[in-house]
Structure 1
Amino acid sequence: MSEYKSEIRQSDIDNLEEKVARSNYRKYLKRVVLSKVRGFTDREVSFDFPVTALIGPNGGGKTTILGAAGLIYAEVPPRRFFAKSGKYDSSMKDWSVEYELIDRDINARISVSRVASFKQAKWNRTAVDRQVLIFGVERTVPATERRDLVKAAGGTFVAAAEVALSPEVSAHVAKILGRPIEGYNRLSVDKAGRVTLFAGSTPRGDQYSEFHFGAGEASIIRIVTAIEETEIGSLILIEEIENGLHPVATRRIVEYLIDVAARKSCQVIFTTHSNDALAPLPARAIWAAYSGEVLQGKLDIAALRTITGQIDAKLAIFVEDSFAQLVIEAALRSYGDIEINAIKIHAMGGAAPAMKVNEQHNVDPTSSFPSICLLDGDQASSANAEKSVFVLPGQASPEAHVFAQVYNRLDSVAAKLTVSMQLPTSRQEQVKRVVRERALTNRDKHVIWEQIGEDLDFTAGFIVSTSFLSIWAQEYPDEVRKLVDQFSDLVPKR
């Protein structure tokens, strides 16, 4: 198991988060309050990072939030996301969305408040000027199925104009798709250039039109071309970003969008069902929408399925991060007589989202199984057995605790630790030396497994961490039992 490593540097992520925190934008949507719209009542979504992912089950409200974000801007017609069909949409009465946004053209110093409401059979809004790009799911419809391209399908078709893709567009598309993009043109099907078709060429120079592209390839070229031509500070809305894309390309296009946010001060909001689309993003950039609720944090799709009861389980456990997830997995395996496959454990990207989703899950009358929350030792003050909130061993991070416990018995466990890390026993003295050196030099225990792995001929950090956990569980059975005993009455037994 290897963890995905984004090509976006953490310093770039930090800089973008700080830029939002300081409101250092000419135009930016800071938050929306869904006062009443579809399944939402008084739910707030803040945009704390310029690239925001919206996840959730079908019908959970992702597109509602996406549409609400664009509704206050004049370029977005309300019917694009919130059309009314006569008497059949009477539920739209009194819908309302509140906004806090930055627009230096309106107020150079402070945020601007706006409201969009549905009154007397139409939307009322004081719309704000901002360029908005919308990429709907129709972008991946094959060219052969698009009615607006019928004219281009004939054998005598000649484009009204041909424009070569810029070197910048070609470079970005090539990076996302993982292959060279050379000799590509944008063709105007009509004289006004409102309908376009792309054409490429093979390495031998043979031309071929978008009728012979993959849907994902055409989608990426279209998205990147429009974004590179858009104004600085534009809002970009994308539905189901992963449509037609390989998982690697999905990650790369999100990395591209983060780069666009940095280069052009653009703001991006997209919906997705893909964990690959979430991988490059920080926790504050992800919002889940489900059953009229919203939740900010580094959820993955599997965790969302657990929250919404779409999986068969007997217990859900929500923890802060991926290492805490490994800790509880190791403890449950060592505890014995537990039906491991009936327990779903999810890393939530922090204490706050772990506690919030646990609370929501346990008060949901439709939940068919209980959940608990396990926090790191430094969050012990938040433990509450009545709310099913417990703590992991140690007084700080679980990484620090597990490392310290194994380090305390390093001489006696060195051979087992070496074998567990898939190294020959003859290297146990080297393992001891490396572990002791890292105990002296490490400043952040969250990265110590990767550091030890690098010193041991680039052994994977995951192998190092699971090896330490295995030794910890074997050497400290009392800690394991004390940990699981906190919630043993909820644990499914064999």
Structure 2
Amino acid sequence: MSEYRSEIRDSEIKALEDKVAKSSYHKYLSRLTLKRVRGFVDREVTFDFPVTAIVGPNGGGKTTILGAAALIYQSVPPRRFFAKSGKYDSSMKDWSVEYQLIDRDVNPRIPIPRTASYKKAKWNRTAVEREVLIFGVERTVPATERRELVKAVGSKFSASSEVALDDVVTVNVSKILGRPIEGYNRLFVDKAGRVSLFAGKTQDGDEYSEFHFGAGEASVIRIVAAVEAAPDGVMILIEEIENGLHPIATRRIVEYLLDVATRKSCQVIFTTHSNDALAPLPSKAIWAAYSGEVLQGKLDITALRTITGQIDAKLAIFVEDEYAELMIQTALRYYGDVELDAIKVHHMGGAGPAMKVNEQHNLDPTTTFPSVCLLDGDQASSANPAKNVHLLPGDAAPEMHVLTRVLDRIDTVAARLTVAMQLPTSQQERVKAVVRERSGTNRDIHVIWEQIGEDLDLTAGFTIKTAFLSIWAQEYPDDVRHLIDRFQELVPKR
């Protein structure tokens, strides 16, 4: 199992976070509150990062949040996201959304409040001016199925004009797709320039039009070309960003949008069903929408399917991070007689999201199985057995507990630890020396496994951490029993 490494540096992520925290934007949507829209009542979504992902099941409300974000800007007609069909849509009555946004043209000093509401027959908005780019799912419709391109079909078609793609477009599209696209043009079908398609060249120099592009290729070119042509500070809305894209290209287009947020002070909101789209983002950049609820945090798509009952399970366990997830999975394996396939363990990107989703899950009357929340030892004040909130072993980070426990017996477990690290047993003295040295020099316990791996011939950090966890569970069965016994009555047995 390889760990994802984004090309966006941590310092760039931190700089974007700070820019939002300091309100250093000319135009920016800071917060919206869905007072009453579709299934949402008094639900607040904050935009604490300039690139925001909205995840959730189909029908969970992702597009509702996307549309609500656009609704307060004059350039977006309300019907784009909230169309009404006469008397047949009376459910829209009394819908309203409240906003806090930055617009230096309106108030150069402080954020301003705004409202959009649907009282009787139409939307009433205290809207402001801002350019908004919207890329709907229709962007991946093949060119052969787009009615506006009928004129471009046939051997007699000749474009009214041809424009080569700007260098900044070709460079960024090439990075996303992973191959060069030099020599691509935009062909305008009509003289007014409203309808266009793209054309490219094969490596052999043969020309071909968008009628022979892949859906993902055309989508990426269209998005990048529009974004690079837009002025700084625009809002960019993308529905189902992963449509038509390989998982690697999905990650790359999100990284491109992070770069755009830095270069052009843009704000991006996109919906997705893909974990790959979430990988480059910090936890505060991700919101989940489901069953009338919203939750901020790095909620895994599989975890969301568990919460919403789309995955058969007998127990769900929510923890803070990936290491805690590995720890509880290891403990369950060594506990014995556990029906592992019936337990779903998910990391939530922090104690707050883990506790919140656990509470919501257990309060939901439609839930068919219980859940448990397991927090790191430094969250002792939040433990609440009555609400199925318990602590992992140790008084601090679980990484420290496992490292200390294994280090205490390093002389007796060195051979097994070395083999578990996929190294020859002849390396055990070296392993002991590296572990002891790194435990003494480490300043951030969360990266200790990667540091040990670097010293041991660049062994993957995942291999190191799983090796330590296995030795810990074998050597300290009392730790394992004490952990699982706290909620053993909920654990499905074989």
Q: Structure 1 length as normaliser, TM-score?
A: 0.99
Query: What residue in structure 1 maps to residue 357 of structure 2?
Result: 357
- How far, CA to CA, are the matches of 2:82 and 2:439 in structure 1? 58
In the alignment, structure 1 residue 394 sits paired with structure 2 residue 394: yes
Residue identity matched to 1:363: L
Query: What residue in structure 1 maps to residue 28 of structure 2?
Result: 28
Query: What residue in structure 1 maps to residue 484 of structure 2?
Result: 484
Query: What residue in structure 1 maps to residue 371 of structure 2?
Result: 371
Residue identity matched to 1:180: P
Query: What residue in structure 2 maps to residue 181 of structure 1?
Result: 181
- How far, CA to CA, are the matches of 1:407 and 1:13 in structure 2? 35
Query: What residue in structure 2 maps to residue 134 of structure 1?
Result: 134
- Residues 357-399 of structure 1 deviation map (CA, whole Å, 9 limit, x = unaligned): 0000000000000000000000011000001000000011001
Residue identity matched to 2:387: K
Query: What residue in structure 2 maps to residue 282 of structure 1?
Result: 282
Q: Which structure 2 residues correspond to residues 86-165 of structure 1 after superposition, within 5 A?
A: 86-165=86-165
Query: What residue in structure 2 maps to residue 12 of structure 1?
Result: 12
In the alignment, structure 1 residue 309 sits paired with structure 2 residue 309: yes
Q: Which structure 2 residues correspond to residues 318-337 of structure 1 after superposition, within 5 A?
A: 318-337=318-337
- How far, CA to CA, are the matches of 1:324 and 1:120 in structure 2? 51
Residue identity matched to 2:32: V
Q: What is the number of equivalent residue pairs in this alignment?
A: 494
Query: What residue in structure 1 maps to residue 224 of structure 2?
Result: 224
SS of residue matched to 1:183: coil
- How far, CA to CA, are the matches of 1:302 and 1:437 in structure 2? 38
Instruction: State the Cα distance separating 1:166 from its structure 2 match.
Output: 0.8
Q: Which structure 2 residues correspond to residues 287-298 of structure 1 after superposition, within 5 A?
A: 287-298=287-298
Query: What residue in structure 1 maps to residue 404 of structure 2?
Result: 404
Query: What residue in structure 1 maps to residue 205 of structure 2?
Result: 205
4+ runs deviating over 3 angstroms: none
SS of residue matched to 1:232: coil
SS of residue matched to 2:256: helix
Query: What residue in structure 1 maps to residue 244 of structure 2?
Result: 244
Residue identity matched to 2:218: A
- How far, CA to CA, are the matches of 1:143 and 1:100 in structure 2? 39
Query: What residue in structure 1 maps to residue 48 of structure 2?
Result: 48
- How far, CA to CA, are the matches of 1:455 and 1:157 in structure 2? 63
Instruction: State the Cα distance separating 1:157 from its structure 2 match.
Output: 1.0
Residue identity matched to 2:23: S
SS of residue matched to 1:82: coil
Query: What residue in structure 2 maps to residue 382 of structure 1?
Result: 382
Residue identity matched to 1:477: P
Q: Which structure 2 residues correspond to residues 431-470 of structure 1 after superposition, within 5 A?
A: 431-470=431-470
The gaps in structure 2 that reach 5 residues or longer are none
- Residues 449-470 of structure 1 deviation map (CA, whole Å, 9 limit, x = unaligned): 0110010001110010000001
Q: Which structure 2 residues correspond to residues 50-69 of structure 1 after superposition, within 5 A?
A: 50-69=50-69
- How far, CA to CA, are the matches of 2:15 and 2:377 in structure 1? 29
Instruction: State the Cα distance separating 1:119 from its structure 2 match.
Output: 1.6
- How far, CA to CA, are the matches of 1:112 and 1:143 in structure 2? 42
SS of residue matched to 2:204: coil
Residue identity matched to 1:178: G
Residue identity matched to 1:113: P
Instruction: State the Cα distance separating 1:204 from its structure 2 match.
Output: 2.1
Instruction: State the Cα distance separating 1:241 from its structure 2 match.
Output: 0.3
SS of residue matched to 2:81: helix
- How far, CA to CA, are the matches of 2:477 and 2:436 in structure 1? 24
- How far, CA to CA, are the matches of 1:425 and 1:369 in structure 2? 45
Instruction: State the Cα distance separating 1:437 from its structure 2 match.
Output: 1.0
391-400 vs 202-211, which moves further: 202-211
Instruction: State the Cα distance separating 1:487 from its structure 2 match.
Output: 0.5
Q: Structure 2 length as normaliser, TM-score?
A: 0.99
Instruction: State the Cα distance separating 1:89 from its structure 2 match.
Output: 0.4
- How far, CA to CA, are the matches of 1:3 and 1:280 in structure 2? 12
- How far, CA to CA, are the matches of 1:109 and 1:27 in structure 2? 12
The gaps in structure 1 that reach 5 residues or longer are none
- How far, CA to CA, are the matches of 1:250 and 1:202 in structure 2? 23
- How far, CA to CA, are the matches of 1:214 and 1:330 in structure 2? 43
- How far, CA to CA, are the matches of 1:320 and 1:120 in structure 2? 45
Residue identity matched to 2:425: T
Instruction: State the Cα distance separating 1:192 from its structure 2 match.
Output: 1.0
SS of residue matched to 2:222: helix
Instruction: State the Cα distance separating 1:13 from its structure 2 match.
Output: 0.7
Instruction: State the Cα distance separating 1:3 from its structure 2 match.
Output: 1.4
Percentage of identical aligned residues: 76
- Residues 469-491 of structure 1 deviation map (CA, whole Å, 9 limit, x = unaligned): 01101111111111111111111
Question: Alignment RMSD, CA only?
Answer: 0.6
- Residues 172-203 of structure 1 deviation map (CA, whole Å, 9 limit, x = unaligned): 00000000011000011111111111000112
- Residues 330-350 of structure 1 deviation map (CA, whole Å, 9 limit, x = unaligned): 111111111111100000000
SS of residue matched to 1:354: helix
- Residues 20-58 of structure 1 deviation map (CA, whole Å, 9 limit, x = unaligned): 011110000001000001110000000000000001011
- Residues 281-306 of structure 1 deviation map (CA, whole Å, 9 limit, x = unaligned): 11100000000000000011100001
- How far, CA to CA, are the matches of 2:116 and 2:146 in structure 1? 33
- Residues 209-264 of structure 1 deviation map (CA, whole Å, 9 limit, x = unaligned): 10110111000000000000111000000000000000100000000000000110
- How far, CA to CA, are the matches of 1:428 and 1:32 in structure 2? 57
Instruction: State the Cα distance separating 1:98 from its structure 2 match.
Output: 0.3
- How far, CA to CA, are the matches of 1:87 and 1:308 in structure 2? 32
- How far, CA to CA, are the matches of 2:246 and 2:437 in structure 1? 42
- How far, CA to CA, are the matches of 2:413 and 2:154 in structure 1? 75
- How far, CA to CA, are the matches of 1:85 and 1:433 in structure 2? 72
Residue identity matched to 1:290: Y
- How far, CA to CA, are the matches of 1:203 and 1:327 in structure 2? 49
SS of residue matched to 1:302: helix
- How far, CA to CA, are the matches of 1:298 and 1:33 in structure 2? 21
- How far, CA to CA, are the matches of 2:340 and 2:120 in structure 1? 56
Instruction: State the Cα distance separating 1:154 from its structure 2 match.
Output: 2.2
Residue identity matched to 1:484: I
Residue identity matched to 2:426: S
Q: Which structure 2 residues correspond to residues 241-280 of structure 1 after superposition, within 5 A?
A: 241-280=241-280
